[in-house]
Every structure is written in C-alpha cells, then in structure tokens.
Amino acid sequence: MKYISTRGGITPVKFRDAVMMGLATDGGLLLPETFPLITNETLKSWQNLSYQELAFEIISLFADDIPPNDLKRLINASYSTFENPEITPIIRKNGVYILELFHGPTFAFKDVALQLLGNLFSYLLKESGEKMNILGATSGDTGSAAIYGVRGKANINIFILHPHGKTSKIQELQMTTVPDSNVFNIAAEGTFDHCQNIVKKLFGDIPFKKKYSLGAVNSINWARVLAQVVYYFYAWLKVTKESSKEILFSVPTGNFGDIFAGYVAKRMGLPIKKLILATNENNILTRMVNSGDYSIGKVVSTISPSMDIQVASNFERYLYYLFGESPEKIKAAFDNFGKTGKLEFSEAELAQVQKDFLSLSVTQSETRKTIALFYKETGYILDPHTAVGVNAAIKAKQDGEDIICLATAHPAKFGDAVKQAIGREPDIPAQLKKLESLPQRSEKMAADPEKVRAYIEKHAI
Ligand SMILES: *Cc1c(COP(=O)(O)O)cnc(C)c1O
C-alpha cells in the first residue's frame, strides 16, 4: 500500500514513510492510494476476534511494509497499557450504545492512537538508526496522550508546550508528573494560541527542523487515523448480529480526525448508514453539512474544550474524496480559503456530504442537560464531549435504529463541567487520584519562540 498527498505533490510513499512524514512535504495530507474492501464474509470471520487481533487484521492491510510479527508485537504492546481487557468496551444506556474509548493511560480516546504511534516511531527509528525530537502544543488532552505514548522510549525526546495555569488541574498533573528523562514540559506564560504559534514558527524554520529532526504528533498523522478505524469495526461487530445491518455512529468532533476514521471504515465497506457529526458552539462543520456554509467564525470557549476548533485540520482528507480525488481542486479550494476564509460547494457536492453525514450543533446548556438527564435516568456520568455526541444521537434517532455514541473522555477529566450539570464531581479513578501526591516537573517560560528554541537546543537528543 502506497500513500499519496491530497495536494498531489509527492511521489507515493510506503506506510513507514507516511508515518515519519506526518504532514506531506507539499503541505497536503497523506492518504492511501486505495481503500481495501471488506466483504460481509470477512466481517463474519472477524466476529470473535479480540481487539488486538482485529487491529492487526485491519492495520496490516495498510501497513504491508511492516513484517507481520513486528506489527503484532507493536499492537499488543500498545494496548497492554489499557486497563480494560476489551480495550474499547461498549455498553447500552437509554436506547443508545456508548463506546468507551477512555480506558487508556490518560483517560481520553487519543490514547488509542497515540499509544500505537509512539511504538511505531520507536520501532522505525530503531530500524533507521535515527533520532527524533517531538514538539507539540496542547490545550490539555493531546499533550498528555502524546507524552504517555513516548515516555521512556529510546531515540525520542518530547517537548510539549502548554499554557501555564490554563489547562485543568488533572491535565497539568498528567503531563508534569511523568518522571521519564525524555519528557520535557514547557509551561508557557501565555495562551494556547501563543503555544501553537511558537510551535508553528519553529517547524517553519527548516534548518532548525532538520538539525533537530523535529517530529509532530498532531492528528494529521495517518497512523492516528488508522488506529481509530479499528474501533468502528470492533463496535459494529459487537453490536450487530445480522451480517449487513446498517448502523449510525455519533462522533463529537473537533479536528475531524475521529470522524474521518469512521468515514474510512464506511468506504472499506463497513455497513454504516450515516456518521452523525456532533459539534459544540464551534459549529463550522455543522453549517457546512447542513447548508454548505464553510466560513470561519471566532473560536468560542466551551465546557467541551477539545472541540473548540474552527478549522478542522483533517477535513481536507474528506474534501479530497468529495472533490473527485482531484489535487488541483483541493489546491484551488485552499488557495481561495486562504484569501476569503470560505469554501464553496456545488449542489451535487452538498448532496453527497448529506449522504455521508448528518450534523447537529449542541449548545453548552443542552450538553449540561444531557449529562443531568442521563445521570438521573441511568446513573451513568457522561463527560461533556461525549454528551455533545449523545445529545445529537438522541435528537437524530429514528425508530429501530442502532446508534453507537463515541465516548471520548472519562468524566473525571472534566469534573468541573460535570459538577455544574449534576451537582457533584464524578468519582476519580485511583490512577488519577494518585497523581496529586507525585512531584511535578515543568519549565516555566515566557511565551517567546527564541526561549523555547534555546531550551530545545539544550535538551534535544
Ligand atoms: C480530541 C478530542 C475530541 C475531538 O476529536 P477530533 O479527532 O479532533 O475530532 C473529542 N473529545 C475529546 C475528549 C478529545 O480529546
């Protein structure tokens, strides 16, 4: 399997090169040349596989340049850190299914992808004899999941900038209590935007990037999307007993990575009727799906902060297919977007979008009500991101339809928002509770790219 760029400017590369490249060198996003098709027969034969076995079946179709036994070992290592033997267990509450994706080390769904990405990096670097310095900015969730993905691994150092005092206490503890010597937390005196701009600036300095082999872990890495494809299949296999039953998935969406993985599963032949694209007040994608209006608004802070995003970086991957796999059309559209802050769609394109997706934007007050109602009726506590998806699913549900809602974080990670909704904080898992007593390590620094650069130069591997 080879990988191409949405912008058409690279010679097709192997899986291993796609993983190391992250963003394509022409500024586009990497995609597989084709999607392997999964028949009903194959699906049936997968019915009794464990999560890890299923992950191997799916990932090996896309990563055929990694020897099967090595890939198996990497997958097994990646999910050995999950505290639930099913990895992503599924439960039924109030007429919908909840797919719990938060049983990894940092209690959010990003672990499913970043545990694997960390192991892939480490494996590929060992083979090539190279080293890598990962640099990233986080508003909370991605940073801790990335740190847990590569902590203690040879040939990798990781530098994560977070805005000092502006993440939740638990998120800060998750990042700063990791004792491994390859982990460097930078607490920047500024906002998340400052952090992100610093990272962008340093990545834009090509000699610096080359000299220190800077690597990225953001959600545009193809391996992250691929790891997430697995749980759509896993959930479908758990829920449907008839071989071709179509179901819906409801996905709380920020950067469009998670829901794009669902789209990949659908293109591979998994019987998905539609993907429900759930947004909070940052609703550019909902406006796009419902009326073709893709125009940037201002980012609003909400109780589901990991979805407070306007321009979804993975959306370009979907647009590539919507535009008939034409790099020229993608380039023209994004040139225009750079100038006007808008993308335009034809009626035929909008009709296609509405075949693939159904979208709802959920307000914070609706989100709190959903958490409260769910708790009252079932005793189950939803985190605010998951609640956005559940609210959308309940509104969209028609008689007899099965909907699987992706639960993207453990409620204890967002205790304040949960308390606003139900009047009490969720129980805190022991692994999170014990972080309070651990020593913290971070470097407080002015939000200045030159300070960060000097710090990296001093501590790079
Ligand atoms: C990152 C994140 C999301 C959004 O996922 P995308 O892949 O960016 O759409 C939703 N919920 C939680 C808890 C997250 O951490």
125-156: per-residue pLDDT in tens? 999 999 999 999 988 789 999 999 999 999 99
Ligand 1 centroid to residue 459 C-alpha, Å: 30
Beta carbon of 182 within 6 Å of any ligand 1 atom = no
Q: How far does the centroid of ligand 1 lie from the alpha carbon of residue 217, in Å? A: 14
Minimal CA–CA distance to 361: which of 291, 408, 263?
291
| Structure tokens that stand for 122 in this block | 């480490």
**What length does the chain have?**
461
**Residue-wise DSSP of 218-281:** STT-HHHHHHHHHHHHHHHHHH--STT--EEEEEE-SSSHHHHHHHHHHHTT--EEEEEEEE-S
| Torsion, CA 296, CA 299, CA 305, CA 306, rounded to 10 | 30
Encode pLDDT of 72-86 as tens digits: 999 999 999 999 999
Query: What mean pLDDT do residues 255-264 have?
Result: 96
Give the distance, in angstroms, between the CA of residue 36 and the centroid of all CA atoms in the same chain: 22
Sign of the alpha-carbon torsion through 122, 111, 392, 416: negative
- For residue 360 and ligand 1, the question of a CB distance below 6 A is answered with no
Confidence class for position 243, pLDDT limits 50, 70, 90: low
Neighbour-count burial of 317, counting CB atoms closer than 10 A to its CB (0-12 exposed, 13-18 middle, 19+ buried): buried
Cα pseudo-dihedral 94, 97, 98, 100, rounded to 10: 150
Contact indicator for 184, 159 with CB cutoff of 8 Å:
yes
Pocket test for ligand 1, best of 29, 106, 107, 110 (most atoms within 8 A of CB): 110
d(CA 195, CA 279): 24
Nearest atom in ligand 1 to 257's CA: 7
Candidates 101, 218, 250, 255: which one to mutate for ligand 1, based on the most atoms within 8 Å of Cβ?
255
Does ligand 1 have an atom closer than 6 angstroms to the CB of 405? Answer: no
Q: What's the CA-to-centroid distance between 128 and ligand 1, angstroms?
A: 32
Asked whether residue 242 carries a pLDDT value surpassing 70, the answer given is no
Instruction: Tell me what percent of the chain is helix, strand and coil, each rounded to the nearest 5.
Output: 50, 15, 35
CA of 84 to the centre of ligand 1 (A): 21
Check pocket membership of 219 for ligand 1, CB cut-off 6 A: yes
Does ligand 1 lie within 6 Å of residue 233's CB atom?
no
Q: Is 343 in the pocket of ligand 1 (CB under 6 A)?
A: no
* Structure tokens, 192: 């998340």
- Cβ–ligand 1 distance for 253 under 6 Å, the answer yes
pLDDT of 19 strictly over 80: yes
Q: Is 331 annotated in the active site? A: no
Alpha helix stretches (DSSP H) within 341-448: 347-356, 364-378, 384-396, 415-422, 430-433
Rounded CA-CA distance 35/264 in Å is 8
Distance 252 CA to ligand 1 centre (A): 7
pLDDT at 241 over 80: no
Closest ligand 1 atom number to CA of residue 256:
9
Element (H, E) at 404: strand 403-407
Q: Which of 98, 117, 141 gets mutated to test ligand 1 (max ligand atoms within 8 A of its CB)?
A: 141
pLDDT over 90 percentage in the chain: 85
* Whether the CB of 317 sits within 6 Å of ligand 1: no
For ligand 1, is residue 149 a contact (CB within 6 Å)? no
Atom of ligand 1 nearest to the CA of 258: 7
| Sign of the torsion formed by the C-alpha atoms of 215, 183, 314 and 55 | positive
- Residue closest via CA to ligand 1's atom 4 equals 254
- Ligand 1 contact, 155 CB (< 6 A): no
- 295-351 pLDDT per residue, tens: 988 888 899 988 988 888 899 999 999 999 999 999 999 999 989 999 999 999 999
Three-state DSSP class for residue 443: strand
pLDDT at 380: 97
- Residue 119 pLDDT > 90: yes
Percent of the chain with pLDDT over 70: 100
Q: How far is the CA of 134 from the centre of ligand 1 (A)?
A: 20
| Ligand 1 within 6 A of CB of 306 | yes
User: Which of the residues 14, 44, 93, 110 is marked catalytic?
Assistant: 110
pLDDT tens, residue by residue, 169-222: 899 999 999 999 999 999 999 888 889 889 989 988 889 999 999 998 877 899
- Per the prediction, the chain carries an average pLDDT of 94
CA of 408 to the centre of ligand 1 (A): 7
> What pLDDT score does 181 carry?
97
Q: What is the distance in A from the centroid of ligand 1 to the CA of 11?
A: 31
CA of 345 to the centre of ligand 1 (A): 26
Asked whether 256 lines ligand 1 (CB < 6 A), one says yes
pLDDT tens-digit map of 361-390: 999 999 999 999 999 999 999 999 999 999
Query: Does 120 have pLDDT greater than 90?
Result: yes
Beta carbons within 8 Å of 85's beta carbon, 6+ residues apart: none
The CB of 88 under 6 Å from ligand 1? The reply is no
Q: How many CB atoms lie within 10 A of CB 298?
A: 6
Q: Which residues are within 8 A (CB) of 48 and not within 5 positions of it... i.e. 6 or more apart? A: none
CA-CA distance, 160 to 177, in Å (whole number)? 13
Task: Please write the tens of the pLDDT for every residue from 31-68.
Answer: 999 999 999 999 999 999 999 999 999 999 999 999 99
Q: How far apart are CA 107 and CA 437, in angstroms?
A: 19
Whether this prediction's pTM lies above 0.85 is answered by: yes
Contact, 443 vs 187, CB < 8 A?
A: yes
Residue nearest to atom 2 of ligand 1 (CA): 306
